[in-house]
Chains A and B, each alone.
Chain A
Amino acid sequence: MADVPAARLEGGLWCHEVLERLDAYVDGSLPSDQRAAIEAHLAACDQCERFGGAYALLVGALRRGLGAARPLGSERARRLERHLQRILEES
């Protein structure tokens, strides 16, 4: 079991409350008052600021895509072509 970091109260929020809302904060879907509270917490809490930064980096990396990592390959393309040829002949 991983150690849960020490809790701090900053900007009116505990660290675990920031963790709970981090997704909505990074996705930009929080109301402005909650967003401001998280920003106040992040400004004062180094562990949450660093973790939030890594979380945002992860989301950014996923959104940039993993396209090149998944080539179709010529063999699979040939199998698709053969399969579709059979379907066309049947129709």
Chain B
Amino acid sequence: MLRATATGDREAFTQLVGSTRDGVWRLIRNLTSDPAAAEDVLQETYVAVWRSASTYRGEGSARAWIHGLARRLSARSWRRRAGEPSTLVPLQELGAQAGWGRDPEELTAALEDRQLLASALEQLAPHDRQILVLCDLEGLSGPEAGALLDLTPSAARVRLHRARLRLMAQLRGGSDG
């Protein structure tokens, strides 16, 4: 369908949108906390698919190519909205907030609930949510995520670790529960 879209086949494009839009939306929505901003990125993604389908070289699936576009457009949207990490909390304190040294039963129960996990993810700061979605939900490597976020591979790894700890703290119901 993507190859047909590249030739200007509108019917193929419509079918392509219909068969991929749910997955593309999930990706963008997980990357972008504001639903209105996420919807803008969704529309921009499919406009970009229509206009640049001819640049698809057949390396990887059409779905992967579209998801790559969605990730890049999401990253552009974050940069427009800014928001970098502010003060650097020591890792040991982050660990303690996440439940290090405490009974993890409450946390492991929370992990069974996908809605609770999604809600905790949404409440994280954008820079934490983005790295988690790119690496843990989307399966990008540290260097791949770093390239999208303008981070070195080692900075991406540190950010991912700290973001996981903040998500654990969020799931425990706050920073010092």
How many chain A residues touch B (Cβ–Cβ < 8 Å)? 44
Q: Tell me if B151 is interfacial: C-beta within 8 Å of chain A.
A: no
Contact among B26, B132, B164, B167 with A67 in the assembled complex (CB-CB below 8 Å): B26
**CB-contact partner of A2 in B91, B96, B118, B161, under 8 A:** B96
Which chain A residues lie closer than 8 Å to B47 at the CB level?
83-84, 87
Task: Count contacts on B: residues with CB < 8 A to the other chain.
Answer: 52
B137 to chain A, nearest CB (A): 6
Q: A67-88 toward B: CB 8 Å interface, digit per residue (1/0)?
A: 1111110001101110110011
Picked from B21, B97, B121, the residue with its CB within 8 Å of the CB of A77 is: B21
Once the chains bind, are B96 and A88 in contact (CB under 8 Å)? no
Question: B residues bordering A, Cβ < 8 Å?
Answer: 10, 13-14, 17, 21-23, 25-26, 29-30, 39, 42-43, 46-47, 50-51, 91-93, 95-104, 107-108, 111, 114-115, 117-118, 121, 132, 136-137, 139, 157, 160-161, 164, 167-168, 171, 175-176
